[in-house]
Amino acid sequence: MPQSDAPPPLPAALANLAQACAACRRCPLAAGRQQVVVSRGNPAADLMVIGEGPGAQEDEQGRPFVGRAGQLLDQMLASVGIDSNRDAYICNVVKCRPPDNRKPTPAEMAACRPWLETQLELIQPAVVLLAGATALEGALGERGAITKLRGQWRSWQGRWAMPIFHPSYLLRNPSRAEGSPKWLTWQDLKAMKQRLDEG
């Protein structure tokens, strides 16, 4: 067995992360969860998608974005040639479901932050999509109207990050007309794909 101080290989590091998250009780959201929801998708992907927090379906299945919002996210990514499980790594700002799907508090987001930081370090994505205003706040500490901020590139720890509308918002605003939230999101995703393809 070679001896070294090198960090564990990615699969071992990911297994450690999953284990540590499963045991985490750093914030009050631990009390209401069925499961900690860490990630789905491909840890070797160049794209990371960060949402707000698990909903009911996610809490039940232990995987992020598997309910209706997740299905729409998958469809929209597919429309620009991205398979959500093959070409992306998907996670949330908080890993446990907030009661009644309320927004996570700043304290909860801060408590969960080390797990998100670890995910960034392990995955090393080139491009990050921040789904919704809460993801933008949780990741970059930036508060504001997503209608104004979506589609604008940010630099985040040496990588590209773009806020987009949350798919739940798009479920409530289904029009695809030019200028609609869905249409704008499609433009954003096309820009994201172009950035990914540029390497």
Chain residues binding ligand SF4 by CB under 6 A are 21, 24-27, 29-30, 36, 94-96, 108, 111-112, 115
Long-range pairs for 183-187: beta carbons < 8 A, 24 or more residues apart:
184/150, 184/151, 185/76, 185/150, 186/76, 186/79, 186/80, 187/151
Task: Rule CB under 6 A: say whether 54 interacts with ligand URA.
Answer: yes
Which three-class secondary structure state does DSSP give residue 55?
coil
8 vs 174 by CB, closer to ligand URA? 174
Query: Which residues, other chains included, contact 90 with Cβ-Cβ below 8 Å and sequence gap of 6+?
Result: 39, 40, 41, 48, 49, 51, 64, 65, 84
Which of ligand SF4, ligand URA, none does residue 112 bind to, with CB < 5 to 8 Å depending on kind? ligand SF4
- Least CB distance to ligand SF4 at residue 125 (A): 20
d(CA 125, CA 119): 10
Q: Which two tokens stand for residue 16?
A: 């450690």
8 vs 106 by CB, closer to ligand URA? 106
52 vs 188 by CB, closer to ligand URA? 52
Which of ligand URA, ligand SF4, none does residue 181 bind to, with CB < 5 to 8 Å depending on kind? none
- Least CB distance to ligand URA at residue 66 (A): 7
Which three-class secondary structure state does DSSP give residue 139?
helix
| Only segment of 65-73, 119-127, 148-156, 188-196 that touches ligand URA (CB under 6 A) | 65-73
74 vs 108 by CB, closer to ligand SF4? 108
The number of beta carbons lying within 10 Å of the beta carbon of residue 110 is: 14
- Least CB distance to ligand SF4 at residue 35 (A): 10
Task: Rule CB under 6 A: say whether 123 interacts with ligand URA.
Answer: no
Q: How far apart are the first and last CA of the chain?
A: 36
Among 24, 65, 128, 182, indicate the residue that binds ligand URA (CB under 6 A): 65
Residue 140 gets which letter from DSSP?
H
Element (H, E) at 163: strand 159-164
| Only segment of 5-13, 62-70, 79-87, 111-119 that touches ligand URA (CB under 6 A) | 62-70
